[in-house]
C-alpha cells in the first residue's frame, strides 16, 4: 500500500493542476446564482450566452485548458491567488501574468464593453463565473508553499489523491448528488438573512475568507475518512452556497442598468 501511495503521489505531483471546484461544484454555484439574479443581469447574460445558463458556463474554462490556443496556454494562473500565512491579498503582488483577482477585473471590463467581439465577451463572462467559484474553494487561495495543497498527498477513503483535489472534487462528489439535487438541497437552507449577509460583490472579502479557512483544511493524518468529512462538510457546503450568492451579487453589480 505504501508503495502504491508513493507511486501515485509522484504521478499526481508531476501532473497536478489547480482546477477549482470540480464540475459538480462549479455547476452548483452557477445554478444557485441563477436564483438571485436581477432582471437586468439576467437579460444581459441571456443576450451574451443565449440558452446557456450559468451552470453550463461555469465549467467551460476548465474544459478549455486542453486547447492549444495561445490564450489558454497562458490562462492557468487565472484560477487562483496566493496569500502567504499572516498576510492579506495585495494585487500589487500578483505575478506578471496575472492571477484570479486581476483576471476577474480584466474580464469584467471586457464583458461590459459592447465594442468588443461577442465571442470575446462570452469568454470573459464564462471566466467570471468560473473564477468566482474558484475563489470560494479555500485552497485556490494558496499559501505559496505547496501549490494550494497540490503537493500534499492524501488518501480519501481508498482514493490516492492530493488535498487540493480532495476539495475540488472528492468532498463534493462524496455526497453522490447531481448538481441539481445539491443545488436544491443547499438553496432550501439559505435563509433570506443569510443571502442578504452574503450578498457582497467584493472579491477581496471572498479571498480573505478563504485564506482564513485554509489552515483548518490541512489534516494531521493523510488518511481522510469519515471524521474528516464529518468535520468539514459544513464548510464545503457553505462555500458552495456563498459562491453562488456572491456570483449573483457580482453579476448584478456588473450589469446594473
Q: 141-142 and 81-82 as β-strands: parallel, antiparallel, unpaired?
A: parallel
Give the pLDDT of residue 1.
47
Per-residue pLDDT of 56-103, as tens digits, reads 999 999 999 888 888 888 899 999 999 999 999 999 999 999 999 999
Per-residue pLDDT of 156-204, as tens digits, reads 999 999 999 999 999 999 999 999 999 999 999 999 999 999 999 999 9
Average pLDDT for the chain: 92
Q: Single out the residue of 123, 134, 17, 23 nearest to residue 76, CA to CA.
A: 17
The position carrying cell 499572516 is 86
Rounded average pLDDT over 47-64:
96
Q: What is the DSSP string of 189-248?
A: H--HHHHHHH----HHHHHHHHHHHGGGGS-SSSEE-HHHHHHHHHHHHHHHHHHHHHHH
Residue 86 backbone zone (phi > 0: left; psi -120 to 50: alpha; other: beta): left
Q: How far apart are CA 63 and CA 52, in angstroms?
A: 15
The three cell numbers locating residue 74: 497562458
Instruction: For 2-254, give the CATH class.
Output: mainly alpha
Amino acid at each position: 500500500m505504501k508503495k502504491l501511495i508513493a507511486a501515485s503521489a509522484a504521478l499526481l505531483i508531476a501532473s497536478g493542476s489547480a482546477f477549482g471546484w470540480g464540475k459538480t461544484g462549479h455547476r452548483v454555484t452557477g445554478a444557485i446564482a441563477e436564483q438571485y439574479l436581477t432582471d437586468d443581469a439576467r437579460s444581459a447574460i441571456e443576450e451574451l450566452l443565449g440558452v446557456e445558463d450559468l451552470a453550463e458556463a461555469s465549467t467551460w474554462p476548465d474544459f478549455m485548458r486542453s486547447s492549444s490556443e495561445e490564450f489558454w496556454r497562458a490562462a492557468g494562473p487565472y484560477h487562483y491567488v496566493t496569500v502567504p500565512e499572516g498576510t492579506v491579498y495585495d494585487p500589487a503582488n500578483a505575478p506578471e501574468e496575472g492571477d484570479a483577482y486581476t483576471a476577474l477585473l480584466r474580464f469584467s471590463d471586457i464583458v461590459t464593453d459592447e465594442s468588443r467581439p461577442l465571442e470575446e465577451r462570452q469568454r470573459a463572462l464564462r471566466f467570471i463565473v468560473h473564477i468566482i467559484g474558484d475563489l470560494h474553494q479555500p485552497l485556490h487561495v494558496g499559501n505559496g508553499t505547496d501549490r494550494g495543497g497540490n503537493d500534499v498527498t492524501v488518501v480519501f477513503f481508498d482514493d490516492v489523491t492530493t488535498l487540493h483535489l480532495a476539495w475540488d472534487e472528492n468532498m463534493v462528489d462524496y455526497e453522490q448528488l447531481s448538481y441539481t439535487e445539491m443545488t436544491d438541497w443547499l438553496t432550501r437552507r439559505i435563509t433570506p438573512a443569510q443571502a442578504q449577509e452574503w450578498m457582497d460583490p467584493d472579491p477581496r472579502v471572498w479571498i480573505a475568507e478563504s485564506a482564513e479557512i485554509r489552515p483548518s483544511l490541512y489534516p494531521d493524518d493523510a488518511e481522510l475518512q469519515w471524521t474528516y468529512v464529518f468535520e468539514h462538510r459544513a464548510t464545503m457546503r457553505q462555500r458552495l452556497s456563498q459562491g453562488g450568492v456572491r456570483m449573483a451579487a457580482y453579476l448584478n453589480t456588473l450589469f446594473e442598468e
